[in-house]
């Protein structure tokens, strides 16, 4: 879990919750710095202000749900208000504090890789906000998917968002993809850290994949891609179903 000095994401969310201030800065290991225009405001957005693909994704939620990397609780709170049994997990203590103050009843300080520590099984696993990236790499992602299989019910599904890294003309991104391939990494396997004021996370891998890469990644793990929810840009959501044994 994140220590206080490492919890840049949590401090950002906490400050925005209290003061309406803050910008998320993402630093990539090649030196690229990105500042989002939408975040952190979108972490707190009401359903009517969500992107269309996010609103459509809610139609596929069923049963007991788990929000992996719940952040400020945008999705989990909507589902709770809609009558779902929803648990939000995150590695940021401050993000979970914000979730509780906003009214989310069930939260747990836990990483996505450790959901076997939770009681019972889930019908829906949510990985929105590009949180398919929590799989980190092709190999680790497949191992986590196999673990998810045993922690979910027979007809469970994963609702996951990512970004197709190939849908860019930015030479900085294209050069980074070439560098990744030379190093035996996936093109969209980015190594980043989040910064906010004097706080910064440790470096971590975050995985961005194309639709074909996603299909290859889930094949043989007990899961399969049922359908995609597209949008005009590079981002998309996948509805991933559970295969029969």
> Per residue in 126-148, pLDDT tens?
999 999 999 999 999 999 999 99
Instruction: Examine the pLDDT at 1 and tell me if it is beyond 90.
Output: no
Here the tokens at position 122 are 């889930």
Here the tokens at position 116 are 């076997």
Give pLDDT, residue 2: 81
What contacts 37, CB < 8 A, 6 or more positions away? none
Spatial separation of the C-alpha atoms in residues 159 and 167, rounded to whole Å: 21
Burial class (CB in 10 A: 0-12, 13-18, 19+), 107: buried
Instruction: Examine the pLDDT at 37 and tell me if it is beyond 90.
Output: no
Q: Residue with structure tokens 């609780």? A: 73
Q: Exposed e or buried b for every residue in 49-70, given b needs 16+ CB within 10 A?
A: ebbebbeebbebbeebbbbbbb
Instruction: Examine the pLDDT at 210 and tell me if it is beyond 70.
Output: yes
Instruction: Examine the pLDDT at 216 and tell me if it is beyond 90.
Output: yes
Terminal alpha carbon distance of the chain: 34
Angle between helices 211-218 and 138-150 (to 10 degrees): 50
Instruction: Examine the pLDDT at 244 and tell me if it is beyond 80.
Output: no
Dihedral sign (CA 53, 201, 148, 44): negative
Spatial separation of the C-alpha atoms in residues 23 and 33, rounded to whole Å: 12
Reported as a pLDDT band with limits 50, 70 and 90, residue 245 is low
Nearest to 102 by CA among 64, 134, 70: 70
Burial class (CB in 10 A: 0-12, 13-18, 19+), 155: exposed
Mean pLDDT of the chain: 96
What contacts 122, CB < 8 A, 6 or more positions away? 63, 64, 65, 66, 151, 152, 153, 156
What are the structural domain ranges in the chain? Answer: 51-188+206-242
Give the other-Cβ count within 10 Å of 184's Cβ: 7
* Section 216-240 average pLDDT: 97
Coil vs helix vs strand at 197: coil
Here the tokens at position 81 are 């208000």
CA dist list (Å): 119 to 75, 87, 157, 182, 209: 21, 11, 18, 42, 31
pLDDT digits (tens, 9 = 90+) for 152-195: 999 999 999 999 999 999 999 999 999 999 999 999 999 999 99
Spatial separation of the C-alpha atoms in residues 42 and 38, rounded to whole Å: 6
CATH no. of 51-188+206-242: 3.40.50.150
């Amino acid at each position: 879990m994140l220590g206080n000095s490492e919890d840049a994401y949590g401090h950002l969310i906490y400050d925005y919750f209290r003061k309406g201030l803050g910008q998320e800065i993402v630093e990539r290991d090649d030196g690229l710095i990105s500042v989002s225009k939408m975040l952190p405001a979108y972490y707190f957005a009401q359903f009517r202000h969500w992107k269309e693909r996010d609103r459509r994704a809610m139609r596929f939620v069923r049963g007991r749900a788990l929000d992996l990397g719940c952040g400020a609780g945008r999705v989990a709170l909507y589902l709770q208000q809609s009558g779902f049994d929803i648990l939000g997990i995150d590695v940021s203590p401050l993000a979970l504090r914000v979730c509780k103050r906003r009214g989310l009843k069930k939260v747990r300080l836990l990483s996505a890789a450790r959901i076997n520590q939770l009681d019972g099984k889930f019908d829906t696993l949510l990985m929105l906000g590009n949180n398919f990236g929590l799989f980190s790499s092709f190999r680790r992602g497949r191992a986590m998917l196999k673990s998810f299989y045993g922690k979910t019910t027979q007809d469970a599904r994963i609702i996951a968002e990512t970004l197709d890294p190939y849908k860019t003309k930015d030479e900085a991104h294209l050069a980074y993809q070439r560098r990744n391939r030379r190093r035996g990494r996936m093109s969209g396997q980015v190594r980043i850290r989040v910064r906010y004021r004097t706080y910064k996370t440790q470096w971590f891998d975050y995985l961005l994949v194309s639709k074909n890469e996603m299909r290859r990644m889930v094949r043989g793990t007990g899961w399969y891609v049922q359908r995609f929810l597209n949008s005009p840009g590079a981002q998309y959501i996948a509805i991933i179903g559970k295969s029969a044994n």
